[in-house]
């Protein structure tokens, strides 16, 4: 039996999942997104073009590949419409190879408003949400008040929408004008027509049939494990399970049908939004990583916080996901550095530990191993044999520490800038 492979982020998102999926897609018949929503921004670059996808799976540029938006995703029809228009402007015909799960929940016009209200009320404690309505949409899903894509096929959809909105009447009455709710609703209902142009599927049946027919499926994650609702630095997390198990619940795949777990990690760390970040750099080095790595959010444009690679955290996420191979990205950003550091231990309350403490307010002092820089440009390297020795030693150190092989090294944003290890 051919198994489903999963590709997911091992840090706080933006590890290069879009590029990773795009590079691997020629080996797959299907790419299926399993969680998250338009909070994601997955960048793809090829033929001199850069494109950012939010809801649509990153296999969309490969015509022969079926792309599925799974039940675990939350879809904003308005953002979906914009994305479709963007793809069509590039000559892509997404109606041919994109299918949507009827069971995927929708982000309703008032969800982003509720996100904004919640963040405002939190003040200094705000999460730094992308304000796309992710938490309110997943909250309504868990609260059994959500509306799903399949609901728009029903005659009483409008009544269902009004019923879903009713529970928030009191909070919305004070902010609906400020946020133009009525206008947002009009745009939303119009955008449903674009959604209707696509094939809605009972994706759990379809995905399992594809597996039975020996089709090769890549499940595409969004965000990263350190933003997982259960295992991230709660409450500074997103609202879905970003770990490998999310592929089971977000697509309807039994665990024994999963195969390779391809984890993608940057050679350093970034985080956008609030929350603990033990290896964060506030000095020149942090500034260099942000500048050389162009670390500004693909969805919100916010500057990303930057710091050294955290191997304590990487080991934790390898454990949670059962990662079988790692794609290491953006090492080229550190090409000019005399030395690079990796965190191998934390000091917590005066004691060394290799575990992430429960209490996120705990002060963590990272212990670093310093590794000599490779001081050569990686960007033109295309073969493992041509990789500088110092860089190979750096990779070996990571592999030995987390006990997982690095299968690819990405040396630039373009599809072609990839080295098989
Ligand atoms: P994703 O959310 O995981 O898909 O990642 P993003 O697209 O949000 O952010 C990754 C950014 O790094 C994008 O701008 C990519 O084009 C870029 N990128 C990906 N891989 C590499 C790499 O190996 N080197 C460099 N310099 N940039 C990369
Ligand atoms: P991709 O798929 C990086 C972060 C937000 C915030 C927290 C909660 O591109 O890697 P939310 O909007 O989900 O309520 O925000 O999670 N966040 C991301 N950070 N990459 C992402 O996606 C993210 N999606 C959400 O910045 O800290
Ligand atoms: Mg991103």
Question: Which is nearest to 67 in space by CA: 259, 224, 191, 206?
Answer: 206
Q: Tell the CATH superfamily of the 4-101+200-262 domain.
A: Adenylosuccinate Synthetase, subunit A, domain 1 (3.40.440.10)
Q: Which pLDDT score is estimated for 330?
A: 98
- CB 307 less than 6 A from any atom of ligand 2: no
- CB 128 less than 6 A from any atom of ligand 2: yes
Active site residues: 14, 42
Distance from the alpha carbon of residue 51 to the mean position of ligand 1, in angstroms: 11
Q: Which pLDDT score is estimated for 189?
A: 98
- Give span(s): CATH 3.40.440.10, the chain: 4-101+200-262
Q: Which atom of ligand 2 is nearest to the CA of 302?
A: 26
- CB 226 less than 6 A from any atom of ligand 2: no
| Bond into 137 cis (ω within 30) | no
Class level of CATH domain 106-195: mainly alpha
DSSP string, 91-147: T--GGGTEEEETT-EE--TTHHHHHHHHHHHHGGG-----SSSHHHHHHHHHTT---
Give the number of the ligand closest to the Cα of residue 222: 2
Query: 64: exposed, middle or buried (C-beta count within 10 Å: 0-12, 13-18, 19+)?
Result: exposed
Report residue 420's pLDDT band, with 50, 70 and 90 as the boundaries: very high
User: What's this model's pTM, rounded to 2 decimal places?
Assistant: 0.97
- CB 221 less than 6 A from any atom of ligand 2: no
In this model, does residue 297 exceed pLDDT 90? no
Condensed to tens digits (0 to 9), the pLDDT of residues 108-149 reads: 999 999 999 999 999 999 999 999 999 999 999 999 999 999
- CB 413 less than 6 A from any atom of ligand 1: yes
Condensed to tens digits (0 to 9), the pLDDT of residues 201-242 reads: 999 999 999 999 999 999 999 999 999 999 999 999 999 999
Give the separation between CA 395 and CA 393, rounded to whole angstroms. Answer: 5
Place of tokens 């665990």: 255
Condensed to tens digits (0 to 9), the pLDDT of residues 25-79 reads: 999 999 999 999 999 999 999 999 999 999 999 999 999 999 999 999 999 999 9
Give the number of the ligand closest to the Cα of residue 58: 1
- CB 13 less than 6 A from any atom of ligand 2: yes
Distance from the alpha carbon of residue 283 to the mean position of ligand 1, in angstroms: 23
Contact 415, 49 (CB under 8 A): no
Residue closest by Cα to atom 18 of ligand 1: 413
* % of the chain at pLDDT higher than 90: 96
- Give span(s): CATH 1.10.300.10, the chain: 106-195
Q: Which atom of ligand 1 is nearest to the CA of 52?
A: 7
Q: CB-hemisphere CA count at 13 Å for 28? A: 31
Give the number of the ligand closest to the Cα of residue 36: 2
Q: Which pLDDT score is estimated for 27?
A: 97
Distance from the alpha carbon of residue 27 to the mean position of ligand 1, in angstroms: 21
- CB 133 less than 6 A from any atom of ligand 2: no
Q: What are phi and psi of 123, to 5 degrees?
A: 55, -125
Distance from the alpha carbon of residue 19 to the mean position of ligand 1, in angstroms: 7
Contact 52, 297 (CB under 8 A): no
Give the separation between CA 237 and CA 330, rounded to whole angstroms. Answer: 23
In this model, does residue 299 exceed pLDDT 80? no
């Amino acid at each position: 039996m051919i198994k489903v492979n999963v590709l997911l982020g091992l840090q706080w998102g933006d590890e290069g999942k879009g590029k990773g999926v795009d590079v691997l897609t020629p080996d797959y018949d299907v790419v299926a997104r399993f969680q998250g929503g338009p909070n994601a921004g997955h960048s793809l670059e090829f033929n001199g073009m850069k494109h950012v996808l939010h809801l649509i799976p990153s296999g969309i540029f490969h015509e022969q590949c079926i792309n599925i938006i799974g039940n675990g995703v939350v879809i904003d029809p308005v953002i979906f419409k914009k994305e479709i228009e963007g793809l069509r402007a590039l000559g892509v015909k997404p109606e041919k190879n994109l299918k949507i799960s009827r069971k995927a929940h929708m982000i309703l016009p008032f969800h982003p408003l509720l996100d904004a209200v919640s963040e405002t009320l939190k003040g200094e404690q705000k999460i730094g949400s992308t304000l796309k309505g992710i938490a309110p949409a997943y909250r309504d899903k868990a609260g059994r008040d959500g509306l799903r894509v399949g609901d728009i096929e029903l005659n009483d959809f409008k009544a269902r929408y009004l019923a879903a909105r009713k529970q928030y009447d009191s909070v919305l009455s004070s902010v609906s004008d400020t946020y133009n709710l009525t206008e947002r609703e009009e745009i939303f209902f119009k955008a449903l027509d674009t959604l209707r142009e696509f094939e809605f599927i009972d994706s759990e049946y379809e995905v399992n049939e594809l597996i039975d027919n020996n089709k090769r499926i890549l499940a595409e994650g969004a965000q990263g494990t350190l933003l997982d609702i259960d295992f991230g630095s709660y409450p500074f997390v997103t609202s879905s399970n970003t770990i490998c198990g999310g592929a089971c619940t977000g697509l309807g795949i039994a665990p024994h049908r999963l195969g390779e777990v391809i984890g993608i990690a940057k050679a350093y760390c970034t985080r956008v939004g609030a929350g603990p970040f033990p290896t964060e750099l506030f000095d020149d080095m942090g500034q260099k990583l942000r500048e050389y790595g162009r670390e500004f959010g693909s969805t919100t444009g916010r500057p990303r916080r930057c710091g050294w690679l955290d191997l304590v955290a990487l080991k934790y996420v390898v454990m949670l996901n059962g990662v079988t191979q790692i794609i290491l990205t953006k090492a080229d950003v550190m090409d000019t550095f005399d030395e690079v550091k990796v965190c191998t231990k934390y000091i917590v309350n005066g004691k060394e530990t290799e575990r992430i403490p429960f209490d996120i307010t705990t002060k963590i002092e990272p212990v670093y191993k310093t590794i000599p820089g490779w001081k050569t440009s990686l960007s033109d390297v295309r073969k493992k044999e041509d990789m500088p020795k110092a860089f190979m030693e750096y990779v070996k150190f990571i592999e030995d520490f987390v006990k997982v092989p690095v299968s690819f090294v990405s040396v630039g944003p373009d599809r072609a800038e990839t080295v098989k290890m």
